[in-house]
Amino acid sequence: MADMEKIHTGRQCAFVCHVHLVFVTKFRHKVFKDVHLRRMEEIMRAVREDFECELVEFNGEDNHVHRLVNFPPKVAVTKLVNSLKGVSSRRLHQFDALTRHYWRANKLWAGSYFAGTVGGAPLSIVSQYIEQQNRPT
């Protein structure tokens, strides 16, 4: 937990930027199992490397996912969100259950998302909240 509040440095700045992101499935359908969430975490960890971000915490339930991301100020949250949603949607098509469910709309995620900057609440509380999600089996 102590490293979550570590001050990062760039060429001309020092920063600590965290955002709590929540993505919801299209129509809030309950489609995720633990295997989907494990694969999604791998995908999102790979995407975050392109943005020089750190995925501090990840978890989810059967119809939404939470993540706590540490990002540099040069990254626009909207671009990060679009990339995370797009790449995860495309790569999760390997699962027949998800593909069958979303074949008509061809979309996994709802168009909206939640992005809350984290700073008022201690990061340990936000991290604990994400850890305590009721992950499906």
27 token code pair:
């129509």
Whether 23 contacts 84, CB under 8 Å: yes
Give the mean pLDDT per block of 10 residues along the chain (137 residues).
66 88 92 92 92 94 94 94 93 77 76 86 82 88
- Count of alpha carbons within 13 angstroms of residue 134, beta-carbon side: 3
Amino acid symbol at 62: D
What per-residue string of b and e applies to 51-60 under the rule 16 or more CB within 10 Å gives b?
bebbbbbbbb
β-bridge partners, 64: 24
| pLDDT at site 4 | 52
